[in-house]
């Protein structure tokens, strides 16, 4: 597992988390995904699984802007690559 990949994903998630055009409830879920990846007590696979669960909830939200949905799918894809 490459730590640079996780840092890149955290940067992408942080950008989305700061975007005020995204509804607050979605930003909260993105924040939970960030927290899951930053958790020191878990191994990387648990971190990725927790983050993927949060982002799965986000991607199913009907209030999610189309461009943001594309970004979420890209992040999910990167997380799944780490998982393998």
Q: Which two tokens stand for residue 2?
A: 């490459």
Q: Looking at the predicted structure, is the pLDDT value of residue 84 above 80?
A: no
Residue-averaged pLDDT of the chain: 92
23 three-class SS: coil
pLDDT in tens, 29-53: 999 999 999 988 888 899 999 999 9
Domains and CATH numbers, the chain: 3-83 (1.20.1440.50)
Q: Looking at the predicted structure, is the pLDDT value of residue 83 above 80?
A: no
Q: Looking at the predicted structure, is the pLDDT value of residue 1 above 60?
A: no
pLDDT at residue 44, rounded to an integer: 87
| Whole-number Å distance between alpha carbons of 84 and 73 | 17
Nearest partner of 17 among 7, 2, 28, judged by Cα? 28
| Whole-number Å distance between alpha carbons of 16 and 11 | 9
pTM: 0.90
Residue found by looking up tokens 């899951």 in the block: 36
């Amino acid at each position: 597992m490459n730590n640079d990949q996780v840092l890149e994903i955290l940067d992408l998630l942080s950008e989305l988390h700061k975007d005020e055009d995204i509804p607050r409830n979605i930003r909260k879920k993105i924040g939970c995904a960030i927290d899951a990846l930053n958790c020191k007590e878990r191994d990387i696979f648990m971190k990725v699984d927790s983050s993927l669960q949060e982002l799965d909830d986000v991607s199913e939200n009907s209030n999610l802007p189309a461009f943001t949905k594309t970004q979420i799918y890209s992040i999910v894809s990167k997380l799944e690559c780490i998982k393998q």
